[in-house]
Structure 1
Amino acid sequence: MSTAHAIVVHGGAATSSDNEDGCVRAAGLALAALQRGGDALDAAVAAVVSMEDDGRFNAGTGSVLCLDGQTIEMDAAVMDTRGRLGAVACITQVRNPVLVARAVADSPHWLLAGEGATRFARNGGHPPFYQPTDKARAAHARLLAALGERPAFARLWNYERPLDQAEERACDTVGAVVRGADGHFAVASSTGGSAPSLLGRVGDTPIIGSGFYAGPQGAVAATGIGEQIVRHLLAGTVYQWIAAGTPLDQALQRGIGLFAPAVAVGLIAVSKTDQGARANRAMPHAIIVPAA
């Protein structure tokens, strides 16, 4: 089967449009992966690695600091129509969680979490990495000021460091969906977590059918407030609409419409014949299709 390739990349709902050049670069690297003979999953992973390395996005090197001001917990996932599925949740001290998720797809499991995921990464040759950005530290300081006395988090606090020694809302994700020229689809996503959040918090990014889905009719990636996205199994729901014949853009709009305006959410998708991106907030993104 031969078809036209398509690549769609996003840098997170409710994030600065100034970061769109990072999405363009990521999409270009995905295209380069296809041109080198890589498949759709190779391309999607290449795009996400680029954004994890960028530092401006809440993923990889740009991940947010947890409330204790020290911990960084990250999630990532990959899936394609060749049967590969892998994810990590609450992984720490790695530079590229999406590469670890890709390695999990070749293991006997589909999801590894916490210390087990980090040990798996070490055994796979991923060296320790912990370099919070100045942006992350500044955002953490602003968050502390905004939380004030933090009564809710004081009651639920579950970090090792006491609340009085610890402590910008962040809930964004990066992602890519790809349609290969061979008709296969793939999706890859990564996030640096949410702030504020309790230790061990997992959002939609590594949950199949919520933050990501790929099937024979296309691939979908979601971004936004994970606690809301999972309630709608958003990526899987939008995929099913597309598979049932709903035009892609209409399916994306319908997915966004499931949420109250106050809930930031975004979607990207590819189908056999179309590709697109929709959000109810600014969402840097990039789309590559063959020139007409």
Structure 2
Amino acid sequence: MEASIMDRKSKKCGAVSGLSTVVNAVSLARLVMEKTPHIYLGFHGAEAFAREQGVETADPSYFITPENIERLKQAQDANRVQIDYTQPVQKEAKDAAATIPNGDSQIGTVGCVAVDSEGNLASATSTGGLVNKMAGRIGDSPIIGAGTYANHLCAVSATGKGEAMIRGTVARDVAAVMEFKGLSLKEAAAYVIDQVPPGNAGLVAVSSTGEIATVFNTTGMFRACASEDGYSEVAIWDSPLK
């Protein structure tokens, strides 16, 4: 597991990666932000810090399910790397699924952005990473500026193929485009995602004034929003949220 968090009000951020026992990675990233002079802790150091802070942990077997085992096996058999939570193909459906392009069933990563009544912004992102990735590989979710970013203009949580997100500094670029090109949040988000190769990226974002943007260049992206006046919406396909 890996995660990051950023708080515009305190101008602080925290990140963790290489976790194998921590149940809630974002909670640990927040403790890094609030309790240490550092921004990023990884692997054994992050696990040791988790024990020191008394965060909820579990035996590594907690994270292993039959679905995850089958997902890994199929990725290994296909000699490919895929996003976590890609639905494992049932044995009887493998032949039929062979014609589906790689990535169409890929989902994963959890991101959240928030703004309060005073315009303070925050963002957090966590993920299990890619299935069948190389040992030690770190994706975009714990990288401030790639998977997570928040400043005085907006908060952004981005997801997709991590290498593409890191190369594009996607989360930070949304804020930069707003600031230096004078675009609205929705315009900036659309501009940034358009710079990423198709099928690689998506993001959720909110501005200091409460404008919401959910933009992606994939078939779909699980997303939702809610406001203090009781409005809420959930969507998957290309039907923009208000």
Under a length normalisation based on structure 2, what TM-score does the superposition of the two structures give?
0.77
Give the secondary structure class of the aligned counterpart of 1:99: helix
Aligned to 1:259: 196
In 1, the alpha carbon distance for the partners of 2:228 and 2:179 equals 23
1:77 aligns with 2:4: yes
Q: Match for residue 135 of structure 1? A: 67
Question: Aligned to 1:268, what secondary structure does the other structure show?
Answer: strand
Q: Deviations over 1:34-82 (max 9, x none)?
A: xxxxxxxxxxxxxxxxxxxxxxxxxxxxxxxxxxxxxxxx110110112
* Aligned ranges 1:216-235 → 2 under 5 Å: 216-235=152-171
Structure with more of its chain in strand, by fraction: 2
Partner of 1:283: 221
Residue number in structure 1 paired with 2:38: 109
Secondary structure of the corresponding residue to residue 176 of structure 1: strand
What is the Cα deviation at residue 127 of structure 1?
4.4
Q: Is the 8 A contact 2:164 2:200 kept in 1?
A: no
Q: Structure 1 unaligned runs (5+)?
A: 1-73, 151-167
For the residue of structure 2 that corresponds to 1:77, the secondary structure is strand
8 A contact 1:187–1:212 mirrored in 2: yes
Q: Report % sequence identity.
A: 35
Which shifted more, 80-89 or 93-102? Answer: 80-89
Higher relative contact order (CA 8 A, sep 6+): 1
1:171 to partner: Cα distance? 7.3
> AA paired with 2:27?
L
Which residue of 178, 187, 196 maps to 2:123?
Answer: 187
1:129-208 aligned within 5 A: 129=58, 130=60, 131=62, 132-147=64-79, 172-208=108-144
CA–CA distance in 1 between the matches of 2:57 and 2:147? 27
Q: Which has the higher helix share?
A: 1
Question: 3-state DSSP class of the match of 1:213?
Answer: strand
Q: Aligned equivalents of 1:257 and 1:127: distance in 2?
A: 39
For residues 20 and 79 of structure 2, what CA distance do their matches in structure 1 show?
A: 25
Shift, 1:272, TM fit: 2.2
Question: What letter matches 2:154 in structure 1?
Answer: G
Report the Cα distance in structure 2 between the residues aligned to 1:102 and 1:196, rounded to whole angstroms.
28
**Deviation digits for residues 124-173 of structure 1 (CA, Å, limit 9, x no counterpart):** 1124412112321221121122129x9xxxxxxxxxxxxxxxxx876732
Tell me what 1:271 maps to.
207
- Under a length normalisation based on structure 1, what TM-score does the superposition of the two structures give? 0.64
Rounded Cα–Cα distance in structure 2 between residues aligned with 1:196 and 1:252: 30
Alpha-carbon distance in structure 2 between the residues aligned to 1:85 and 1:139: 33
Residue type at the aligned position of 2:115: R
Q: Any gaps of 5 or more consecutive residues in structure 2? A: 82-101, 232-242
Q: Secondary structure at the match of 1:91?
A: coil
Match of 2:17 among 65, 69, 89: 89
For 2:222, the aligned partner's letter is P
Moved more, 199-208 or 82-91: 82-91
Letter of the structure 2 residue corresponding to residue 77 of structure 1: S
Match of 1:247 in 2: 184
* Per-residue deviation, 1:235: 0.6
With over 3 angstroms needed to count, the CA separation of the structure-2 counterparts of 1:116 and 1:183, relative to structure 1, is: same
Residue type at the aligned position of 2:42:
A
